[in-house]
Structure 1
């Protein structure tokens, strides 16, 4: 264990001398208050330490002690429905000790040591086990069965295993290793946050992560195990998009990281999630959620650790075979913490003052996502999908964090403040967003939803792109200069925008739309457009087609209860045919 003394203090950066025996990324305890820090640079016997707590009052000569271990998280029963800070300290336990304001130097274990969990063994004495094998389960919440796994690097035969009630520090099994040694296995394991947890192999991203948000699932889907970025200016709805995904995405576990977010936004999450009823299980959403709250007034260095803490917890649940969705809000504020520490280290600044390694750090984070075959003797599949919000200053996505993120992610949901000001939510711009997973997931949609899914999506996108070109003409010479087919295109595109892409997050029915209902909505809009197009070429008046009563029924279809979707679809579909036929008959009679 290396012991030294402080030489210099610069905000969250502390330089200590006498640390020759310490290693990079060792956790250190600073001063008699035992503030938590991490070594991020070593020169000779001097170590630069980023301190995860407020450093006011520290001065030269104060003792520093290295623990000799890297920054790690505790993984075991008790994670679900917990609220942690950026370095996995439970905020509810800290509040009981220090009140509503976070005090420095509070040492609280991440997992409660006094809670006994009912462990049910899944193996017996004499069974061969290797890393990742499940030796038993703990029912952590009503909907999450916590699988106790053999830690990475352990191999051998079960020598002893017992069921019953155990705390996370007690031994539940003993494994005899090939060299004759013994390894005790408990309910908890530790893992360094900066190192990705191992797996056997990655799988192709050919299945969608269904979110129930129409603009995402239909136009710009994310794969299960994929990565997406949500850049957007202030007020464009990044946080609401992430909340919607946390509530409705088809994931078994949700890890939500509030990284440098406003305190009141995190308060909304903390108040809202316990009250939300999970539609799949009927229980509170918190029963399958881990929250990491590192608000903008908390020490800046802890922001840098928070996303690593979150993704390590997410990987642990992925290894159990669960589908995990991780929301990071926002990576821009994490990058600002990197920039501040880099500046204090006096490193050569890159673009806009960000460190030159910004791109590689972002890549290290996002590349930990994926759909994988986990470590185990059987084929167990797990998925970790990452959705990162980016808050570019002034909404300018040409800035370094947005650009570095776009080079890594394959889905880009571009939030547009002009759409937000028009009250169009989600304010995802359909002309500038993209998804590079479309080609690999085409077969899945055609096989599992409808064989014409991709064809319908293409027709919708073509109409939206044609609308953008026609809008320029309308602004120059007015609507009257357009031909009847072009006016019909504009009306069909308006229907796509207002009836399909616009989705009310606060409406009980409209907040979530199944893929089948999305398909029916697309079909109604395309059916109206194509039938009207045929009627127009038969000489029908454009004004009559635009003002058909069925158009209101198409718009109201999104508010149809799930159990009435099929029946209502058939009614509206036949109404389209009937009204266009009746209008054409009237014209002939006239």
Structure 2
């Protein structure tokens, strides 16, 4: 079955004699056998998006069917790998063709020659159903790769290998189901645009603990949840995602560099292999997958890279792991949709984006979730997408449509970033809808009053924002002392708690219990200070420099495994104010 090219428009190809082909089928385009996907079928005509550079392609060259949709090879060798948008290994490509991806290199994927130490889990005569684990491979020091029966496959084991060293192409288990024979290897194929099936999607009840104070206490993320991190240029989107990748308590990280600048992606590719996993003291890459699709790579592959990443995440979720996927950035993905839509001559919607932009964004975030898998294990996919609105304008279509489909919104503020306040998450515009779902977990695992404390501190920040408007007009001196105390406490809260230093060993990651105790110290200062102000103690005395300095420095002085210094500081604050109140009452 062969078609013929009749039009070439960048990555969009039109072909004739295509009546035997299928929608979304993967095809080989031209004599170079470029990889493409059919996106429109009209009678004898088809429109194809090509995932490689099309320069040099000619009218009349053939289109050859592969018989399957764009699919990933899922098996040992994914972890620690660096792939392009359609799961081709960039390290291997670099060995074949140094410095660039050659045209027509084909769908090379996982290493087919490498031998893996396979532990067999089944015997002849066992009944297996979809999702069952029939073998395992210790893929890295951190992760055991569980080899599962693909969805929609089941039967009786009629042949099985012994435990030993095999490559991924070896048939490990043979299943028989009536007249059908299934040969199971160490990998399976899955079409990227189809969500992998689960037994049941569950309600969210566990937080994704990140060690970042403003996120964990003020705007918590959830395992199986969705989050958007929008921000203009230089506000720290990539740095925030790096911190989440390194410190969050997800088992596996999938990082998608989608349409980012080459120098930014180079920094990611150089930095990630050097990062040490705080759990194991081994390289973080042992539980990370990087998908690199820079802005100068073919635009169609950028559109596919998001689906490649989420499919890999779902595959590891099916093994019972908690996976966090970082997409940086979904704006570049939306721009790829816009470019392809323009070449297809579709009617543009708002700001030139296609009319189906909201549904595509929804489809992507919908694949997050906490679920019971086909094999009975529990796993989750948490999706954290960075959004890069032009000029930091949050009213543009990608940010607004993303906001509709995510439950946590961490808006980055350029004024905070320019003031070197990182993470530059604006506490006035950010929110998390997961708080009611996670309340019980926080009360059981942190403290009973942690949610009340959070609300109290946020209220202070809101009040301070209103007071600062008055201060701009008439100055701080005209405010009563109780309002000046709110400003002083909010200042303390911002510097001592919300601002976090990623380059300081103690401050880069903070356990939840320490976060709570730090917030209790600031609350103690405000409560005792309010008591003092009420009996007439001047704010200049209440805002004692020595006490405030100790509060500001606690994030650098208190070890993460011993909180006694925080308890001592709380006692010092109580003693200071008790003496002060006693003195002024006399």
Shared topology, TM-score over 0.5?
yes
TM-score bucket (shorter structure): over 0.9
Shift of 1:37: 0.8
Shift of 1:476: 1.2
In structure 2, C-alpha distance between the alignment counterparts of 1:112 and 1:462, rounded to whole Å: 55
Q: Who is 2:72 aligned against?
A: 73
Q: Does 1:482 align with 2:469?
A: no
Q: Does 1:404 align with 2:401?
A: yes
SS of 1:195's equivalent? Answer: coil
Shift of 1:505: 1.1
Q: Who is 1:494 aligned against?
A: 491
Shift of 1:106: 1.0
Q: Who is 2:154 aligned against?
A: 155
In structure 1, C-alpha distance between the alignment counterparts of 2:55 and 2:560, rounded to whole Å: 60
In structure 1, C-alpha distance between the alignment counterparts of 2:61 and 2:81, rounded to whole Å: 34
Shift of 1:64: 1.3
Shift of 1:108: 5.4
Q: Who is 2:176 aligned against?
A: 176
Q: Who is 1:164 aligned against?
A: 164
In structure 1, C-alpha distance between the alignment counterparts of 2:399 and 2:533, rounded to whole Å: 45
Deviation per CA, 1:97-120: give whole Å up to 9, x if none. 111122111135211011011110
Deviation per CA, 1:169-223: give whole Å up to 9, x if none. 111111222x243211110100000000000111111211001111111111111
Q: Who is 2:233 aligned against?
A: 234
Can you give the 5+ residue segments of structure 2 that lack an aligned partner in the other structure?
Answer: none
Alpha carbons 1:159, 1:176 under 8 Å: kept: yes
In structure 1, C-alpha distance between the alignment counterparts of 2:145 and 2:67, rounded to whole Å: 30
Shift of 1:480: 1.1
Alpha carbons 2:76, 2:186 under 8 Å: kept: yes
SS of 1:471's equivalent? Answer: helix
Q: Who is 2:2 aligned against?
A: 3
In structure 2, C-alpha distance between the alignment counterparts of 1:515 and 1:564, rounded to whole Å: 11
Shift of 1:168: 0.7
Shift of 1:67: 1.0
Alpha carbons 1:6, 1:16 under 8 Å: kept: yes
Aligned residues: 585
Alpha carbons 2:35, 2:107 under 8 Å: kept: no
SS of 1:505's equivalent? Answer: coil
In structure 1, C-alpha distance between the alignment counterparts of 2:23 and 2:558, rounded to whole Å: 57
Q: Does 1:432 align with 2:429?
A: yes
Q: Does 1:552 align with 2:549?
A: yes
SS of 1:549's equivalent? Answer: helix
- Alpha-carbon spacing, 1:348–1:484, altered in 2? closer, same or farther (3 Å): same
Written as runs of structure 1 = structure 2, the 5 A alignment for 1:344-423 is 344-376=343-375, 379-423=376-420
Q: Quote the RMSD (CA, aligned, Å).
A: 1.1
Alpha carbons 1:94, 1:108 under 8 Å: kept: no
Q: Who is 2:38 aligned against?
A: 39
Q: Who is 1:518 aligned against?
A: 515
Alpha carbons 1:255, 1:326 under 8 Å: kept: yes
SS of 1:42's equivalent? Answer: strand
> Which ranges of 4 or more aligned residues in structure 1 deviate by more than 6 Å?
none
Shift of 1:159: 2.0
SS of 1:581's equivalent? Answer: helix
In structure 2, C-alpha distance between the alignment counterparts of 1:226 and 1:108, rounded to whole Å: 32
- Alpha-carbon spacing, 1:440–1:461, altered in 2? closer, same or farther (3 Å): same
In structure 2, C-alpha distance between the alignment counterparts of 1:271 and 1:559, rounded to whole Å: 28
Q: Who is 1:459 aligned against?
A: 456
Deviates more, 1:522-531 or 1:562-571: 562-571
Can you give the 5+ residue segments of structure 1 that lack an aligned partner in the other structure?
Answer: none
Q: Who is 1:306 aligned against?
A: 305
Q: Who is 1:59 aligned against?
A: 58
